Structure 1
Amino acid sequence: MLVAIDDLGNRLTTLDNLPKTGIYYCPVCKGQVTLKRGKVKQAHFAHKNLLNCPNSSLNESTEHLLLKVKLYQNLKKSEEVTIETFFPSINQIADLQVNHKLVLEVQCSSLPPDRLVERTKNYRDNDQYIIWLLGKNLWIKHKLSYLQKQFLSFSWSIGFYLWEIDLEKNCLRLCYMIHEDLMGKVTCLTRTCPLDGNLMSFFRMPFQKMNLEPIKVKSDSHLLQKIQKALKYRNKYWMLRQEKAYQMGINLLCLSVEDFYPQYNPPKCEQGFCLIESDLKPFYDAFEAYNKEISNKDVQTLHLPSFYVKI
């Protein structure tokens, strides 16, 4: 934790020039805390005694602490921002609250999806717009995990997107136009903003009209061999597709590569997406209808969502 209070209830942070021997208290439970200032880890407060306090249960990594500090130091120059804001009605501590309406949460480690849903709903119920910034362990690599899908947002301007935050490169990264191929491999575009840049303008990017060139991707000519291998190793997704095909008297391995067009599709999740409240059906339907009319199936063109619904 980076915030404490003094005997008079004044809010203090580790960024202030505080004496290590001072007397400090947790702003949530009012228990006494100690200022720890070492050579490796970012200076922080720690409870003297383990208590049933939201602050005491936080085991923050150096990455998490440093990223919070960097965001705070930048945003306070132009915005009204508080660090480690406590919401008593929901018993939650936001990493940062900006202009009373925006919550920024830096998530550096995995968490149960149910907890993500709960925290997001609680913030929304308190009239807060929530942005989750994913640390290194949660960045997109090759495929989207179930948890990563729950961090996805959607806009008609840039499609499915999520935010990554990079301590080493000192930047915020927007991954957008996210699609998956039939083997689950992700393709997307990225834009970056330095952590000392205009972050608020960057956060607005998903809601601005974009003039982007379509993404052209080649269809995989070796798809059938990959499907055969997936069935051999009893991949759940392909086993289910094969079962459904059998019910219609079809064997997937007897089809042509063209029969699997489009090979790149927007993400889907049977359980829904935690951060997406809008109805995605019009987009999915328009995407499918557009691709049914394509004759050249060797190459697929990925457009912004707004393109499909205008046709």
Structure 2
Amino acid sequence: MALRKIEFSKIDRPESVSAGSAPILQWLDIASLVVDESYQRDLKPQNWKAIRKIAANFKWSMFSPVFVSPVEGGKYAIIDGQHRSHAAAICGFEQVPCQIVPMAQHEQAAAFAAVNGVVTAVTYHQLLKAALAAGEQWAVNAKEIANAGGCRLMTHNGSSLTKKPGEIFGVKGFLAVVNARPRGPLIAALKMLMATEGYNDNREIWENGVLMPLLMALTERPAALANPAFSGALAGFDIWQMIDDDHVQRRARQRIGEKYPPKSETWRAGVLEWLDKAFPARMALPASAKMSRQETLAHIGKIGSGA
């Protein structure tokens, strides 16, 4: 366990601090909590979706105190935490822990803006790291797939100079591939990339924008991946030329005002096009079927061309 102290330099301390009233921590009845609609947000469908999610996974260990301020009538206006409060009520709880700070209404509105406007975003790397420490299945599964493919799913970001082939920094994109593709073909695709020259020695291949369309395409053709000649064919595939050609087509379409699909879609389609040319599908024929050599070649040609 790595434990870090709260450390700071004296130079970081403001010249003067006016902290206002000290907060009081107390359990309050949910029935005594109110929402001041003059500054609080409305609850739209997406807010109710978030509330239902909190309720479905409700744990006090994940419940931070609701930030409130006393108002007339013995009530308390919620500054921050109305989603949590609604979720607790749905779960049947009558009280929630609260941080109570006496404030005038204009101070409440300012506090609401400060709490909800100055937020430190949590990155996917940080979420993955926390989920792995908690043993959450989605994180463990993604890490196991990466490891089985001879790769590493990274829990922190790195500079382009320090990144190495096989290190997967695009956590969000990789999770999308894990959710969309079977485990076996995905592991096979990662192993193939790690075994192929031009892919196992080029960190640019492992950038999120390139790697994810490549994985999405490779995992759509498991039969090709299983072909003994696949690694050699992949080494000869000029993915950068495909990307350059796509860029030219994209610019040409954009110049005339036409929409062009996202790079993730067109690059995936480009890899699939190469795959289907390099390893055309072969349809098994019934044992009783008798075809001439020319008929057989013509049949295979139609399959390979998509006819």
TM-score range, shorter chain: under 0.3
The structure with the greater share of residues assigned to strand is 1
The structure with the greater share of residues assigned to helix is 2
**Normalization by structure 1: what TM-score?**
0.23
* Bigger radius of gyration: 2
